Structure 1
Amino acid sequence: MLHGPTRCLIRCSKPKFDRDSEDDYGIVFVRRVVSHLSGDYTKAFLLGSIIGKYTFIVFDYDNPDHSDTCDVLGFRVSKSIRAISVPAEMIHSRVRSWKQLNERHKLSFPYLGKLITPTTQNPTPRSLSDAPTAADSIEKSQHKDSETP
């Protein structure tokens, strides 16, 4: 059962994500995990999704400040939902890096659709695949400023 501030990682295969997800973020998987744990979905807040060979979805539960002092739980979603062991510090570190990137570009966190500037250690969230990034907006703004007489 979910209770108190918790950060959760959901792992599923990319084919399962592509087949079952109703959006680019995997909100349906967050709903399933929260329901499986008898939680209140209104307390869940999606932080980000990473798509590769596997899909990783990170969300906070009852953690409105997105504090990284909370517990971390992991789940594998396939035909059923199973608890898995995840390294808490690695999950917190990833979320901190997303938050820092957004702060650097003056975006709120989380900012769905515009998690920015992935690296090989911080793969592209699927939400970036078709959406402009904050970096694109900044570059356009700077280009527009340079054209002003």
Structure 2
Amino acid sequence: MKRRDFINWVGLGGIASSLPVAICLQQRFAIAACSEQTTSDVWQTVGTVAELDQNGQLLVKKFPSVNVLLVGTSESENLIAVNPTCTHSGCTVTWNTEGNKFACPCHGAEYGSDGQVQRGPATEPLKTYTAKIENNSVLVKPN
């Protein structure tokens, strides 16, 4: 075997052996090659009640690998939690309290409080999360 062939073979083997780990980290669900527990069934703290009550919303960037926009207060019956990344353009949507909807400032897409598209150009809904308050912490779990 030539040296160049050996180096290419070893390099390809290294890439192939790291592929299952990369898939696990990006997809967040278990596949045969994944050995870690999935994050989809774990509640994660994204802030405090005081932070949420201050503005009636809480924007957390990079929770654990995505963004979360949580709307409500400690007195709210239902907390609303979505990934605020517009599914059309990737901009961060904002919460419109008067219209009870999320709006994208880039191209005007609108989403209902359930994340469903109300007005295009977006065609895919926002990813939603389940949220709750426990003690003084605001917790979120991907659906």
Please state which band the TM-score falls in when normalised by the shorter chain. under 0.3
Higher relative contact order (CA 8 A, sep 6+): 1
Structure with the bigger percentage of strand: 2
**TM-score, with structure 2 as normaliser:** 0.28
Structure with the bigger percentage of helix: 1
